[in-house]
Chains A and B, each alone.
Chain A
Amino acid sequence: MAELLEISGITKRFGGLVAVNNVTFDVRDREILSVIGPNGAGKSTLFKLISSFLKPSAGEVRFKGQRISNLAPHIVARRGVVRTFQETTIFRNMTVRDNVIIAHHLRSRANLFGFFLGSALARQDENIFGQSADEILAFLGLAPQSGEIARNLPHGHLRALGIAIGLATNPSILLLDEPFAGMNHDETMKAVAMVRSLRDRGLTVLLVEHDMPAVMKISDRIVVLNFGEMIAEGTPAEIQSNARVIEAYLGSEDEAIGL
């Protein structure tokens, strides 16, 4: 498998604090890679660095061989690296379907002026987006909710909507921010199946996650962070038997490793 995303020597300092220190790893085409680590390990900072919501202090991120760090987030999204957010980040006052339609923005061929005039291209776009949105909503099991105002959705559906928004941009690689947080066992298992089906659609998935059993179940490879440093990288089996990982997790109170 080819390397899709290369993270090399990436470092982020906030004042005197080093949140992420010299982290290097690759994400291969069509794999599911998870970044795990105890609280405060620098996971979300790393996540923001990859999606270019933060600028790195040193190092760089390359996508398909081209440097994407230091580009504006919307340009990184245009290249095909798209992040999702934790549940509350949706367009609250739009319907579910409109949320997904607007997320097709990247695929639109008409420009702002074309939209204003209602050009043929713009109208074609609208039709295609509508169909595609319906397809995505059906894929994620959100079709019955498509007419609801997004802020009224229950938690599980909100998470799915976040992913639907990400999918609508037609990304090559989707970054998921704690997709299983706050879910019970059954919900997690459903979500795991959903992430797998994303990969079956041809996507590469990079996720940042807390929920160990889910991560072990779903990932092709795992990267472990602790205090901003990468302490291990490997398959779930390798990670489970890695002494440094066990030490890091035993050091923190309430997290246990294992299935």
Chain B
Amino acid sequence: MSPPVKILSVVVFLFAVFVAVPVMITVTGRTDFYYTLTSVALLSIASAGVWLTFYIGRINIGQGAYSLLGGYASAILVVDYGWSFWLTIPAAGLLCAGVSILVGLPILRLRGVYFAMVTLVFTEVARLLALALPVTGGATGMTSIPLPGAVSIFGLTIIPDFASLENPRLAFYLLAVTLMVLCFAAMYRIVHSRIGRLCQSLQQNEELASSIGVNIVYLRLIAYAISSFLGGVGGVIFVAISQSIYPSSFTVTDSVNFMLNCFLGGLGYVFGPMLGTLVLYFGWDLLFEAGRFQLLIYSSVMIVLILVLPNGLLSLGLILRRKV
């Protein structure tokens, strides 16, 4: 894409998510879409993390663990220690990144299905730990977590207290979408700078990468830590919206879904996870009308999509361009 086209598409996208969508929702009165779209935005942040681990050649089915960890960290800091919710976003994210470095050191040596399985098991370990540890409240989880409070600098209120808003749904939507935009802007930079190339070099051949002087251990850890940071941030906001968290808030199913979002959007495209999440989550929601045939239609459509576009939805653009 040429630079003017790029800028134009960014402007159109920002306009769509920040203006067009809220206006459409107000006009149609379908305020339930706020919740759906907020979820899509948050899940796509966590999926973006998974996508980054795909980018270094690792199949990550453990993102649910970090979303759970981030959610619990935020909830505990807010409820037990009286932290401001806003501070817990970076704090929980960094905690997840830290934990992922400890976990990643041994397991990032694994490849292929072995890494995939260990991360899957890790999701289950996180859930069982949440059940067993004393700080998490066990199976009953933590409920009635307060809504995000106000933030003001020099007496100027930048973010209002969510509890005082008449439409916290819109506020959460804007929060989630803002974070999503930031996340994907950062991802775009990563992928289109030398770091992206280095990640690709890992994905394609770790031995060769190390022979040309790439510190593969370090780079793998960095990528995995960023991935887990994003997973944690997604979890934090989710917990703030539902004002509760349970050991089953993020399970193996969620971990698998994060991975599927990436596949469906396309592993080679940085915006793949966003589109994949939108299609899978929104599609599932829309099919609710189909009642007991929901799952059948959903899975059949998915199979057809994979057969037609095995390299992800975004590979469609490439195919069309080749035909033209």
What residues on B are CB-neighbors of A103 within 8 Å? 212
What residues on A are CB-neighbors of B197 within 8 Å? 94, 98, 101-102
Question: Which of A102, A117, A122 contacts B198 (CB under 8 A)?
Answer: A102
A85–B204 touching, CB < 8 Å:
no
Question: Which of B193, B200, B207 contacts A89 (CB under 8 A)?
Answer: B207
> What's the Cα separation between A112 and B222 when bound, in Å?
10
B195 located at the interface, meaning its Cβ lies under 8 Å from any Cβ of chain A in the complex: yes
A74-B214, A94-B200 known; A115 vs B193 contact (CB < 8 Å): yes
Residue of A nearest to B208 (CB): A89
> What's the Cα separation between A72 and B193 when bound, in Å?
26
Per-residue CB contact flags for chain B residues 210-226 toward chain A (1 = under 8 Å, else 0) read 11111111000010000
A90 located at the interface, meaning its Cβ lies under 8 Å from any Cβ of chain B in the complex: yes
A91-B205, A112-B222 known; A122 vs B213 contact (CB < 8 Å): no
> What's the Cα separation between A82 and B213 when bound, in Å?
8
Distance to closest chain B CB from A36 (angstroms): 22
B111 located at the interface, meaning its Cβ lies under 8 Å from any Cβ of chain A in the complex: no
> What's the Cα separation between A43 and B38 when bound, in Å?
59
Residue of B nearest to A162 (CB): B208
> What's the Cα separation between A73 and B198 when bound, in Å?
16
> What's the Cα separation between A74 and B209 when bound, in Å?
8
| Tally of B interface residues using CB under 8 Å | 23
Distance to closest chain B CB from A49 (angstroms): 14
A169–B213 touching, CB < 8 Å:
yes
What residues on B are CB-neighbors of A168 within 8 Å? 212
Residue picked from B208, B212, B214, most chain A C-beta under 10 Å: B212
Question: Which of B189, B194, B195, B208 contacts A91 (CB under 8 A)?
Answer: B208
A14 located at the interface, meaning its Cβ lies under 8 Å from any Cβ of chain B in the complex: no
A165–B212 touching, CB < 8 Å:
yes
Residue of A nearest to B194 (CB): A115
B201 located at the interface, meaning its Cβ lies under 8 Å from any Cβ of chain A in the complex: yes
Residue of A nearest to B215 (CB): A74
What residues on B are CB-neighbors of A94 within 8 Å? 197, 200-201, 204
Residues of A93-127 at the interface with B, using a CB-CB cut-off of 8 Å, are 93-94, 98, 101-103, 105-106, 108, 110, 112, 115-118, 122, 125-126
Question: Which of B195, B213, B214 contacts A116 (CB under 8 A)?
Answer: B195
> What's the Cα separation between A165 and B213 when bound, in Å?
11
A77 located at the interface, meaning its Cβ lies under 8 Å from any Cβ of chain B in the complex: yes
Residues of B177-199 at the interface with A, using a CB-CB cut-off of 8 Å, are 186, 189-190, 193-195, 197-198
What residues on B are CB-neighbors of A106 within 8 Å? 212-213
> What's the Cα separation between A93 and B189 when bound, in Å?
20
B198–A90 touching, CB < 8 Å:
no
Per-residue CB contact flags for chain A residues 168-205 toward chain B (1 = under 8 Å, else 0) read 11000000000000000000000000000000000000
A51 located at the interface, meaning its Cβ lies under 8 Å from any Cβ of chain B in the complex: yes
Distance to closest chain A CB from B270 (angstroms): 14
What residues on B are CB-neighbors of A72 within 8 Å? 210, 215, 217
A126–B194 touching, CB < 8 Å:
yes
B189–A90 touching, CB < 8 Å:
no
A105-B213, A112-B195 known; A118 vs B189 contact (CB < 8 Å): yes
A74-B213, A105-B212, A169-B212 known; A85 vs B198 contact (CB < 8 Å): no
- List 15 A–B pairs whose Cβ atoms lie within 8 Å, in order of A's numbering: A53-B211, A74-B211, A74-B213, A74-B214, A77-B210, A77-B213, A82-B213, A83-B211, A85-B207, A91-B200, A91-B208, A105-B198, A105-B214, A106-B213, A126-B194
6 extra interface residue pairs, beta carbon distance < 8 Å, beyond A74-B211, A89-B205? A53-B207, A72-B215, A91-B205, A105-B198, A105-B213, A108-B194
Residues of A near any B CB (own CB < 8 A)? 51, 53, 72-74, 77-78, 82-85, 89-94, 98, 101-103, 105-106, 108, 110, 112, 115-118, 122, 125-126, 165-166, 168-169
Residues of B near any A CB (own CB < 8 A)? 186, 189-190, 193-195, 197-198, 200-201, 204-205, 207-208, 210-217, 222
